[in-house]
Amino acid sequence: MGLLAFVAIFISDDAPSYKSFSDGSTLSVSADTLQHQAMVEKYAQEYGISEYVSILLAIIEVESGGRLPDVMQSSESLGLPPNTLDTEASIQQGVRYFADLLQSAKRYGVDDDTVIQAYNYGGGFIGYVANRGKQYSFKLAEDFAKERANGIKVTYSNPIAVQQNGGWRYRYGNMFYVQLVRQYFTTPIQFDNELVQLVMNEALKYEGWRYVFGGDNPTTSFDCSGLTQWSYRKADIHLPRTAQQQYDATEHIPLAQAKAGDLVFFHSTYDAGTYVTHVGIYLGNNQMYNAGDPIGYDDLTSPYWQKHLIGAGRIKR
């Protein structure tokens, strides 16, 4: 769809929202896009592609940021002018169109990235890839755009290609479409310990969220001990609420003996009325995941953390 048109890229000023899916991936898109999740799920189920809900939401983020009525920019797949459909009609048609592309891909034996690119290029791209190894690559997307652009009249105001994202995009669709969609996915880091993996699968949902003093759940966001308490609870480990209380409830060990999944504690990071004022999840290799501002990773060898470091704590089970 939009075969001869540029794809509009919407960048939200709002903080991203994080949503985890059954494949272990986490989707980071705007709240405007996530508000359409229920409707996407409804039509994905109707057309038998429920496992692709996360990809469909990422397509919405690329196409409209969730803000236009025609959120999936699917009017053109019906031969209509751009932005003709209302929101529900756009989602219904966009999901149906993607389902049709998947059926074609199954017949031809091509991969899912080919389908994602075909959402932008049209179904002809599926046969193109099928005849060239059946595996999507950026070069195939680029070559397809070049070949299809040959039939377009080129003028000074309508060049055959324009520079974008460090490369060139041709007037036939957007060769970067797979990269634009895939950029909204992150895959949680993997741990050998199943319990640690459960904890981190939960904690990583909130990467990039802002620190909120007193926050202890996804509705409020989190402070440091609120994040650890919430995340470990998903592995059926019930920690007390504050950093000091969590320190008191653990077996104290030097950082050099810490393993992934242990807690790491700090003092005097602010005036809390207690000695222990901050806690994070130890990941190994002097890295921790914690509710800083924003929530995310930190290097424990930095001068700031070294100044305040107490040590690690192993949770008593």
**pLDDT tens track for 20-36:** 565 556 788 888 999 99
277: left (phi over 0), alpha (psi -120 to 50) or beta: alpha
301 neighbors 286 (Cβ within 8 angstroms): yes
Asked if pLDDT for residue 232 goes beyond 50, the answer is yes
Residues that are catalytic: 224, 278, 290
Look at residue 21 in the predicted model and tell me its pLDDT.
61
What number does CATH give the domain 17-186? 1.10.530.10
Q: What CATH class is the domain 194-315?
A: alpha beta
pLDDT band at 167 (very low <50, low <70, confident <90, very high): very low
Between vectors from CA 76 to CA 71 and to CA 81, what angle results, nearest 5°?
Answer: 95
pLDDT band at 148 (very low <50, low <70, confident <90, very high): confident
Look at residue 157 in the predicted model and tell me its pLDDT.
35
Asked if pLDDT for residue 168 goes beyond 80, the answer is no
Look at residue 193 in the predicted model and tell me its pLDDT.
86
Q: What is the DSSP code string of 135-195?
A: S--HHHHHHHHHHHHTTSPPBTTB-SEEEETTEEEESSS-TTHHHHHHTTEE-----SSHH
pLDDT band at 214 (very low <50, low <70, confident <90, very high): very high
294 cis-preceded (ω within 30 degrees of 0) = yes
76 neighbors 49 (Cβ within 8 angstroms): no
Q: What is the DSSP code string of 57-89?
A: HHHHHHHTTT-SSSTT--GGGGTPPTT-S-HHH
Distances (CA, A) of 140 to 1, 8, 104, 118, 137: 18, 22, 18, 12, 5
Tens digits of residue pLDDT in 252-299: 999 999 999 999 999 999 999 999 999 999 999 899 999 998 898 899
Asked if pLDDT for residue 155 goes beyond 80, the answer is no
Among 118-122, 124-128, 181-185, the range scoring the smallest mean pLDDT is 181-185
Look at residue 20 in the predicted model and tell me its pLDDT.
58
Between vectors from CA 86 to CA 89 and to CA 36, what angle results, nearest 5°?
Answer: 75
266 neighbors 308 (Cβ within 8 angstroms): yes
Domain range annotation of the chain? 17-186, 194-315
Look at residue 185 in the predicted model and tell me its pLDDT.
82
Query: Phi, psi (5° rounding) for residue 167?
Result: -145, -155
How many CB atoms are located within 10 Å of the residue 4 CB?
12
Helix (H, G, I), strand (E, B) or coil at 204: helix
Asked if pLDDT for residue 152 goes beyond 70, the answer is no
Tens digits of residue pLDDT in 174-207: 888 998 998 888 655 566 788 899 999 899 888 8
